[in-house]
Homo-oligomer: A and B are copies of this chain.
Amino acid sequence: MPNTIALLTDFGTRDIYVGAMKGVIQRTAPQTTVIDISHHIEAQNVRQAAFALLNAYRYFVEGTVFLIVVDPGVGSTRKPIAVQAGAYIFVAPDNGVLSYALADLPEMRAYELTNPSLWLPETSATFHGRDVFAPVAAYLSAGMALENVGDALESIFTLPPPQLSVSGKRVRGEIMHIDRFGNIISSIGQLRWLAPDKLTLDPRFGDSRVPVPVRATEARIKIDTTEIEGLSRAYADAPRGTLLALAGSNGYLEIAVNQGNAAATLDVVVGDHIDFTVGGA
């Protein structure tokens, strides 16, 4: 099993912050491979990072240590934590950034990082990513037992789930993310194809976890005043420049324009409502 740390931060790449963290990881655990998930989470946007982590984690090898530093409360009383869940370990501030991934994973064990012998000797109050989180993640990636990081925790901080309400055949969700292509990714999922015209919707963020059947041709999607009829399979199923709705690569309902920018076309932002009428099945 390779030693892997996957990094997710809001540090951007203009400054030296990510480089300094990687320097610390490399000198602490030289055999560890570091993989960047992204460093361009919007500054201090914990929820965006939580959704990114949810969509990324399952593609990494078992044993991966996820090091997430989106940390508006650095230096305050918010705890630094390490959590094991499923085959993964997560090192992060206790601000809810792990909420969505952990909801997806079996039983967890959480610890507060209270063992300063693992940290850099001089610990700043403004950059725990480098001084606390990076060395702890490095030791964990090299095989150190989780309980060495500090004191066990009964519970950790949890974000409220994204908006997702199912009433009859209408599901109301919200825009969670707009990607680099302008694709609009919603909180409505998981959508899975069963047959050429048949899907199920498994509302993992909602109260109900009972899968809802969806007939692709009868589905109706509404954002603001725009309506889209039917679910496509691929961007290329609609003519170039045309709006379409599909099950995105993370399983959530996604609105796109084939070879265009859906968010610019519709002038929407993260947090806007999306209504999805699922049709019969």
**Least CB separation from A31: chain B residue:** B2
Give every chain B residue within 8 A of A72 (Cβ-Cβ): 235-236, 259
Taking the complex as formed, is A277 at the interface, i.e. its CB lies under 8 A from any CB of chain B? no
Known contacts: A15-B38, A234-B125. The answer to whether A59 contacts B23 by CB under 8 A is: yes
Q: How large is the interface on A (under 10, 10 to 19, 20 to 34, 35 or more residues)?
A: 35 or more
**Least CB separation from A3: chain B residue:** B30
Taking the complex as formed, is A119 at the interface, i.e. its CB lies under 8 A from any CB of chain B? no
- A16-B56, A22-B35, A72-B236 are known; give 18 further A-B pairs, CB within 8 A: A6-B23, A12-B180, A13-B39, A16-B38, A16-B55, A17-B179, A19-B37, A20-B59, A24-B59, A26-B60, A27-B62, A30-B33, A43-B180, A59-B130, A124-B249, A125-B233, A126-B234, A126-B248
Question: What are 28 pairs between A and B in contact, CB < 8 Å?
Answer: A2-B27, A4-B26, A6-B19, A8-B19, A11-B180, A12-B180, A13-B40, A14-B179, A15-B38, A15-B179, A16-B37, A16-B52, A19-B59, A20-B37, A23-B59, A23-B60, A26-B61, A30-B61, A43-B181, A72-B259, A74-B235, A75-B234, A75-B235, A76-B237, A124-B247, A126-B235, A127-B249, A130-B249
Residues of A participating in the B interface, judged by any CB pair closer than 8 Å: 2, 4, 6, 8, 11-24, 26-27, 30, 33, 35-40, 43-44, 52, 55-56, 59-62, 64, 72-76, 124-127, 130-131, 177, 179-181, 233-237, 246-249, 254, 256, 259
